[in-house]
Amino acid sequence: FDSGKFDKSTMCYDAALRLDPHDVYLLNKQGDNLSRLGKFTEAIECYDKALEYEPANIYILNNKAIALLNSGNINEALKVSNIAYNYRPSSPIVLYWRGFILEILAEFDKALEVYDKLITIDDSNPEVWNARGNVLTDMERPEEALEAYDKALELCLDDSELDATAQNRKGNALMELLRFEEAIECYDKAISLEPHNTSFLLNKGVVLMELGNFAEAENIFKAEEEMENE
């Protein structure tokens, strides 16, 4: 599982479950495997079996909510998240995914409340600050979003994937504020971390157009198109 060989891991968990079909840990891990393979219906069945034995297990409930979300059943995902939340309203992992589901449902005020609650519990998680920035961006509050992205970047340390995403979203917020030169700096930092991310290149190209650097923007768009066609 940890090496990403989910098909082989699934075979192993199947074998283990034949020996002990009531093992909650195995059922949950098999659900995780099947989710990684995109087999969300089967994953949810595993989580449901596990919940028959431990109906108040917030981690399994949360995993089920994520599987429902990934399968497109967003409203059902929120219902399951509500159950987990009612069992433990201060659980960071439940709150994080609850906020994400609410954001997907465009319930931005509620999502922001959840992230603010998370920050009162632990203000050192860069992913939460980044998520807060995303919601504030959705709410068209770029100045506050910028503050959240700055905090996320301050806490990122060596998490290059999050760092690149936060830089990109910070660039977007700066672009909304018409601070184009600063936005370019953010996109350049994001591109240096993920040089083949076409979204980052596209965003930089748009800002270059705003600055009137049409030739440079055209080169960016050509590079983005070539990557898309690879």
pLDDT in tens, 132-153: 999 999 999 999 999 999 998 8
Question: For residue 157, what pLDDT is reported?
Answer: 64
User: pLDDT at residue 160 above 70?
Assistant: no
Question: For residue 145, what pLDDT is reported?
Answer: 94
Under a CB-based contact definition with an 8 Å cutoff, are residues 9 and 36 in contact?
A: no
Which of 35, 94, 29, 33 is CA-nearest to residue 61? 94
Question: For residue 158, what pLDDT is reported?
Answer: 59
Which of 103, 23, 92 is CA-nearest to residue 59? 92
User: pLDDT at residue 159 above 70?
Assistant: no
Question: For residue 180, what pLDDT is reported?
Answer: 95
Question: For residue 187, what pLDDT is reported?
Answer: 95
Instruction: Give burial (CB, 10 Å; 0-12/13-18/19+) of 229.
Output: exposed
Q: Where are the alpha helices (DSSP H) in the chain?
A: 6-19, 24-36, 40-53, 58-70, 74-87, 92-104, 108-121, 126-138, 142-155, 160-176, 180-193, 198-210, 214-229
Amino acid at 162: L
Q: What percent of the chain has pLDDT over 70?
A: 97
d(C-alpha 80, C-alpha 64), whole Å: 7
User: pLDDT at residue 41 above 70?
Assistant: yes
Work out the mean pLDDT of the chain and round it to a whole number.
92
Average pLDDT over residues 42-52: 97
pLDDT, tens digit, 9 for 90 and up, residues 57-106: 999 999 999 999 999 999 999 999 999 999 999 999 999 999 999 999 99
Average pLDDT over residues 30-36: 93
List the single range of 96-105, 124-133, 182-191, 217-226 with lowest mean pLDDT: 217-226
Question: For residue 116, what pLDDT is reported?
Answer: 97
Average pLDDT over residues 167-190: 93
Q: What percent of the chain has pLDDT over 90?
A: 76
